[in-house]
Amino acid sequence: MVNLGDFFYTLGMWLQGLLMRAGLNESAARGAFSALVAALLPLIALLTAVPLIWLERKWIARLQDRMGPNRVGPFGLLQVFADMVKIFTKEDITPLGADRVVFALAPVLAVAGVVGLWAVIPFAANAFGVDLNVGVLYLVAAGTLSTLAIMLAGWSANNKYALLGAFRTVAQMISYEVPLVLSLLVPVLLSGSLGLNGIVAAQREVWFVFSAPLAALLFLIASQAEVSRAPFDLLEAESEIVAGFNIEYSGMKFGFFFVGEFLHSFTMGLLGATLFLGGWTGPGVETYPALGAVYIILKGTFVYFLFVWARATFPRIRIDQMLDFNWKLLTPLGLFLIPLLAVVNRGLSESSVWLRNAALLGANVLLAALVLTILGMRGRSARMRAASNATPAPAALRR
């Protein structure tokens, strides 16, 4: 692998040298440096939530033709801080009959599962927590923590609405993990690497969103469902189960879930940028490696904007529609997509990069056209059946 500049590497070496001059031996210096990174990365991740909440509220407001927060500070920038003060000073209630330990553990797990994802995201060349050779699988494994956290929150609160919310979580998050994993497999397949650094390096010429747009779409939909935001926010459907799994939470414990959700969405955006939009690659990265961090944050924010856009646009879907959509459309689509791309990728592995990627794009378009045709035919036949079955309404009702 070509070493694209080493700004962050030099920075790390300089810090380690500083520690060694302060009297530590080499392995201790490396250990102290790792501990520093391990402490800083979650801190940065959690602090990102502050501008994110403001940004999302402004975007949602614009999309819904409102002003959004505009009272506290210029452009409402300080609104989040006001909210933080409010949430810190609220009473922390544990309901009677709740399982106290599990009740307190669930919000922590919810945030931990999200922050854990940041360990493997490469922010620039040589700037990542750890380069796991199983990075993509690690993402799936860390995602299970969030599912667990929501289930525990729903169960421990001793509230039937919370429990119902937890049941919906299991149905939704476990179902949508299948197309999510299938869509994650496509960059793995095209790059020949399970590590996120290898996947970014393989996108130096062509981003995977161009060679596999269907996989990118699958990722977008499935991760929106994993984060369980609208239109997939069934587990907190206000009109049906009040607030869902977090109904009994108040104060900072609720704040944890809230921050965790925002951060999860943005982290999914960063992952989408890493897996499909080339990560930190971009013009000028070779000479100024620190530019890579700017690129990935811009790209991640763009994907995050797509999530927010979907959230502001689509109405909540019903639970049967949610399951049908996953098991009858997304999962089969992913299952067809992977062998198709594998065959095309393997068959043209000797030819030039551009020809191979054009063929991959063509295969994607073909599959998309096929799926849309089948869906159109099914829809038409369903409409015909409905029209032929419809009997004219009684005269009393027809007014």
Partner 1 sequence: MTIAQVIFVVISAVVLVSAVLVVVSRNIVHAALWLILSLFGVAALFAVLEAGFMAVVQVVIYVGAIATLIIFAIMLTRREMREPGQQTHRWWPLPALLAMALFAGLAWLLGSLPGTGAAPPALAGEDPVLLLGQALLSPEQYMLPFEVASVLLLAALVGAIVIAGDSR
Query: Applying CB under 8 A, which residues contact partner 1?
Result: 99, 102, 132-134, 137-138, 140-141, 143-144, 147-148, 151-152, 155, 163, 166-167, 170, 174, 177, 194
Q: In angstroms, what is the minimal distance from the CB of 100 to partner 1?
A: 12
Nearer CB in complex with partner 1: 139/214? 139
Q: In angstroms, what is the minimal distance from the CB of 134 to partner 1?
A: 5
Q: In angstroms, what is the minimal distance from the CB of 95 to partner 1?
A: 16
Nearer CB in complex with partner 1: 30/90? 30
Q: In angstroms, what is the minimal distance from the CB of 138 to partner 1?
A: 5
Distance CA 156, CA 95 (A): 10
DSSP secondary-structure letter at 289? T
DSSP secondary-structure letter at 236? G
Long-range contacts of 159-164 (CB under 8 A, 24+ apart): 159/95, 159/247, 159/248, 161/241, 161/242, 161/243, 161/244, 161/247, 162/244, 162/245, 162/246, 162/247, 162/248, 164/241, 164/244
Q: In angstroms, what is the minimal distance from the CB of 142 to partner 1?
A: 8
In three-state secondary structure terms, 1 is coil
Nearer CB in complex with partner 1: 85/141? 141
Nearer CB in complex with partner 1: 28/298? 28
Distance CA 142, CA 370 (A): 35
Is residue 203 within 8 Å of residue 311, measured between CB atoms? no
In 3D space, the residue among 51, 45, 76, 41 whose CA is nearest the CA of residue 61 turns out to be: 76
Is residue 194 within 8 Å of residue 139, measured between CB atoms? no
Is residue 179 within 8 Å of residue 327, measured between CB atoms? no
Nearer CB in complex with partner 1: 135/300? 135
Q: In angstroms, what is the minimal distance from the CB of 132 to partner 1?
A: 6
Q: Which residue is associated with the tokens 């599959």?
A: 367
Is residue 360 within 8 Å of residue 214, measured between CB atoms? no
Q: What is the DSSP code string of 25-49? A: -HHHHHHHHHHHHHHHHHHHHHHHH
Hey, what are 73's tokens? 């500070």
Residue 3's φ and ψ, nearest 5 degrees, are -90, 105
Q: In angstroms, what is the minimal distance from the CB of 312 to partner 1?
A: 31
Nearer CB in complex with partner 1: 167/305? 167
Hey, what are 63's tokens? 């999309």
Distance CA 344, CA 276 (A): 18
Nearer CB in complex with partner 1: 194/337? 194
Nearer CB in complex with partner 1: 43/134? 134
Is residue 198 within 8 Å of residue 192, measured between CB atoms? yes
Q: In angstroms, what is the minimal distance from the CB of 105 to partner 1?
A: 9
Q: In angstroms, what is the minimal distance from the CB of 131 to partner 1?
A: 11
Nearer CB in complex with partner 1: 97/394? 97
Q: In angstroms, what is the minimal distance from the CB of 168 to partner 1?
A: 11
Nearer CB in complex with partner 1: 11/174? 174
Is residue 94 within 8 Å of residue 344, measured between CB atoms? no
Element (DSSP H or E) covering residue 105: helix 100-117
